[in-house]
Structure 1
Amino acid sequence: MTGQDSVGQRIKTVRRQRGFSQAQLAHPELSDSYVSLIESGKRTPTPAVLELLAEKLGCSLTYLVNGVTAEQMEEIELGLSYAKLALDNGEIVEARLRYAELLDGGDLASLPQLRQDAEYGLALATEACGDLDGAIDLLNGLRRNASAEMAPERHIEVAIALTRCYRERGDLTQAVQTAEAILGGAVRPVWTEGIIALGTALLAAYAERGDLLRAHQFGAELLAAAELVGTPRAMVLALWAEAIVAVETGRGEEAVKMADRALAIYSENDTSQGASHAVAKLRYDYAHIHLIAQPSDAAMCRDMLVQVEASLRESASNMMDKMMCAQHLARAELMLGNAEQAGRHIRSVLNLSDDMPKDLRAEAHLLAGEVMAELGRHEEAVSELAMVSELLEDAPPTRQTAHLWLTAAQVLERIDEPTRGADAYRRALACVDL
């Protein structure tokens, strides 16, 4: 139950359980008529009065306000902490289960803020499990049912997650519309870190749908806004997003410079708990940008990734981070002509990929196919590329999907599989409506 009536009803219930009359509960601080009005929901007690009544009734203030005991509140908060920890550590199935159990329990019905936290966490865990439709339904439900109770920061967080999910699902029009509903007016909202983060999600959607001119223009605006906000996080977000757009638009040197600056800012300013893990993650993303923008730096990237891999082993990093680091390491070794070393890394990637979303698994098997092709292991290369085809069968027609099909086609052509290669080329062209 929520609302003031439920508070009055709880006071009445506990009063009767204690065997008090309204006059006994009221004396000497309050009048019995005032207590009657509170119990009937016709008066709103002040926090001080609620605290007084809780003391006289021998129950917790938490119970009177929310309908849960202090012990239940502690259990709920502990459950939310465990669920968030599981999500942060990449234990996505466990996180999804814990959040769902909290919401199914019913204790959150009168705790709107904690219920929002659980629903938002469940949406993020559902997205991480690859169930984009489920995540989108949860996020839209959160916006629809809890919008009036939602803090502005949570509104932005939900919009960011929705934009990201729509983009990952391939619904780029909806992704852009979701972000532009907040950012697309003639006058921008006041720039904050949250709005900058939403801007980076919009920038990614522009780039994914091939609107590179708009992405370049908006990226410059976003970077200027981040400089006005002036916080390290805002600068890192904007620089990183603009670096990715620079890679997409063939401005490799600019991309590397912006990635260098983002990494330097983050390393110098984030002293929070877990910062070393976050820096490690940023470093493997940095190496990835370098490998694309400046392939000649592959040896430097390989050395950096070896250090990152060691750091991730020693920290409470999640499986996703370990997988992505190993995948970038395999790519760097392959670019350096070290196919055997690349093979060792790609095997560890495949061992970690079973519970990952389909697009990440497709990337892993595609790289494995490239490695097998380089090693001259034809049948294994064909097997890996067949797995790529299976994983991409129902993938949304995005630029990323087109790139994966195109790379698969090139590898199939290289290992003398012209029929399969031609089919992969056709699928790549279909993704871009050609």
Structure 2
Amino acid sequence: MKNSGEVGARIRRLRRAAGMSQAELAGDGLSASYISLLEAGKRVPSADVLDQLAARLGCDPADLSGAPPEVSANEFQVELNYAEMALNNGDPDAAFEAYRLLQDKVSLADRPEVWYKAEYGMARSLEHGGRLEEAVTRYEYLHAASVDRPDMVPRLPTVIALCRCYRELGDLSHAIEVAEATLAELEKLQLRPTVIGIELLSTLVGVYMERGDMHRAAYLATQAIEQAGTVTDSRALGAAYWNASVVMHRNGNTADALTLIEKALAIYGEGEDQRALARLRNAYAMLLLQSETAKPEVARDVLEQSLTSLREVGSSIDIAYCLSALAQVELRLGNAEAAIGHAERALELLGPDHRLQSARNHLVLAAARLALGDRESAQDAYERGALMLEASEANRQAAFAWAELAEILKLCGEDERAVWAYRQSMRCMGHRETFLTGRKLTSRT
């Protein structure tokens, strides 16, 4: 309870506001002199006395004691539901504030289950809002807490979120380290496959693809499909098909990739997660665009359908990814100016944290500006995109970007810079730098 003097002052203030004398407030159960001692701060009232006084003054006992009113578990759940609704409706800022206000009402010692849920919600809100560095800080805290409080902190969802954020930030090694360590824990426990475990596998598949390690990606994708066949959740199988299709496409097997992603579309189409379905359509459109018999017009229709859905249920980052894909489609259709518009808008939405996807948009801008004859701007954009990819450890993609820049430089007559760009490409592919001495090719060690 607060200081007795503060309690006495509240009793006196509320008594006077009610127009009551000390005797009238005392009633039958208390004496006027006792009320006088209370108001002077010379006595500390018991909980029963506070209840009596509050009833006579027509207020809550907490108004007298200064203690915050008790909040029921149901009220906490209502506030959690509101914050979750804001997040699902694509308003991460409102969701973050709702989770923060809820966490301010509780302490970690008294209500750890509510406190951790609010902390996890704030981390998710930051991620959805594109504030990845801040999200990682909170996810890392939760990841550490999950070791001691597995009953309070969802370990696997936190690891998946960390892996996802590190991937977007371009820190592929850290993403793999976190996810692989958790997979090793699961294998050691020899647990039956679960939906969340399959989701972790699928997330890791994507990271290995970004790094260019297609063998490990293919192995994990096969594992995910096998495990998904043993659980009853159809969405787990859909997610496994989705990732396996991307692996097959990267390995040049586009026909089978299309078959798998169409199976995934059928599964997600029967569910209620419109955001996931729209994101899957984005991947499907890219397969249509990059297949042997490319269908850019169909891909554009699919992406426009996705964009309509994501503007209702997606985050700004989801919309940015869709615009990035539309930029590639417009470039393929010869609409360079439209491609530039989509890519630039995507970069605005992505902000500074989503380095890997931003790099891809710079490469689209480079190709579009080259198509418009602006070679200088194209060179700058290619170099920026290549450097961002390389910094993100996406060396295979960076190598292709450097090679494309070399071709542009060669066309511009800048042979020395073209050779330099080719060397950057070779380095990213893992080759040692070479130079010619006379007619003999010598490796530089």
1:279 to 257, 277, 294: 277
Change (3 A) 1:93 1:374: farther
Change (3 A) 1:400 1:210: closer
2:106 matched residue in structure 1: 107
2:70 & 2:407 partners in 1: Cα distance? 62
1:155 matched residue in structure 2: 155
1:29 matched residue in structure 2: none
1:180 matched residue in structure 2: 183
For the residue of structure 1 that corresponds to 2:106, the secondary structure is coil
Which TM-score applies when normalising by structure 1? Answer: 0.71
1:87 & 1:295 partners in 2: Cα distance? 39
1:354 & 1:414 partners in 2: Cα distance? 32
2:139 matched residue in structure 1: 139
Which structure has the bigger radius of gyration? 2
User: What are the Cα deviations for residues 273-298 of structure 1, in whole angstroms up to 9, with x where unaligned?
Assistant: xx344322221121123323446222
1:330 matched residue in structure 2: 327
Structure 2 unaligned blocks of 5 or more: 1-43, 53-59, 63-67, 432-445
Change (3 A) 1:368 1:98: farther
1:49 matched residue in structure 2: none
Mapped contact 2:383–2:405 kept (Cα < 8 A): no
Asked whether 1:298 is paired with 2:296, we answer yes
Deviation at residue 235 of structure 1 after TM alignment: 0.9
1:357 matched residue in structure 2: 354
1:193 to 183, 189, 195: 195
- After the TM superposition, which of the residue ranges 191-200 and 349-358 deviates more from structure 2? 349-358
RMSD over aligned CA atoms reads: 3.8
2:234 matched residue in structure 1: 232
* Structure 2 counterparts to residues 387-426 of structure 1, below 5 A: 387-388=384-385, 391=388, 395-399=391-395, 402=398, 405-406=401-402, 409=405, 412-413=408-409, 416=412, 422-426=419-423
1:291 & 1:368 partners in 2: Cα distance? 18
2:374 to 368, 372, 377: 377
2:49 matched residue in structure 1: 19
1:130 & 1:407 partners in 2: Cα distance? 31
Change (3 A) 1:375 1:411: farther
2:150 & 2:361 partners in 1: Cα distance? 39
Change (3 A) 1:424 1:319: farther
Deviation at residue 190 of structure 1 after TM alignment: 0.8
Change (3 A) 1:231 1:383: same
Structure 1 unaligned blocks of 5 or more: 1-13, 25-57, 61-66
For the residue of structure 2 that corresponds to 1:115, the secondary structure is helix
1:251 matched residue in structure 2: 253
Mapped contact 1:166–1:174 kept (Cα < 8 A): no
For the residue of structure 2 that corresponds to 1:228, the secondary structure is coil
2:22 matched residue in structure 1: none
For the residue of structure 1 that corresponds to 2:238, the secondary structure is helix
1:412 & 1:369 partners in 2: Cα distance? 10
User: What are the Cα deviations for residues 117-161 of structure 1, in whole angstroms up to 9, with x where unaligned?
Assistant: 222233334445666565444333223334343349922212222
* Structure 2 counterparts to residues 338-349 of structure 1, below 5 A: 338-349=335-346
Count of residue pairs brought into register by the alignment: 372
1:83 & 1:423 partners in 2: Cα distance? 52
Which runs of 4 or more aligned residues in structure 1 lie more than 6 Å from their structure 2 counterparts after TM superposition?
none
User: What are the Cα deviations for residues 217-244 of structure 1, in whole angstroms up to 9, with x where unaligned?
Assistant: 3322321221221322111111111112
Mapped contact 1:116–1:146 kept (Cα < 8 A): no
1:212 & 1:107 partners in 2: Cα distance? 47
Mapped contact 2:50–2:61 kept (Cα < 8 A): no
Mapped contact 2:382–2:401 kept (Cα < 8 A): no
For the residue of structure 1 that corresponds to 2:334, the secondary structure is coil
Deviation at residue 390 of structure 1 after TM alignment: 6.8
- After the TM superposition, which of the residue ranges 160-169 and 246-255 deviates more from structure 2? 160-169
Mapped contact 1:193–1:229 kept (Cα < 8 A): yes
Change (3 A) 1:211 1:386: closer
Change (3 A) 1:311 1:92: closer
1:94 & 1:431 partners in 2: Cα distance? 42
Q: Which amino acid aligns with 2:122?
A: L
Change (3 A) 1:311 1:143: closer
Q: Which amino acid aligns with 2:303?
A: L
Deviation at residue 402 of structure 1 after TM alignment: 2.5
Change (3 A) 1:324 1:207: closer
Which TM-score applies when normalising by structure 2? Answer: 0.70
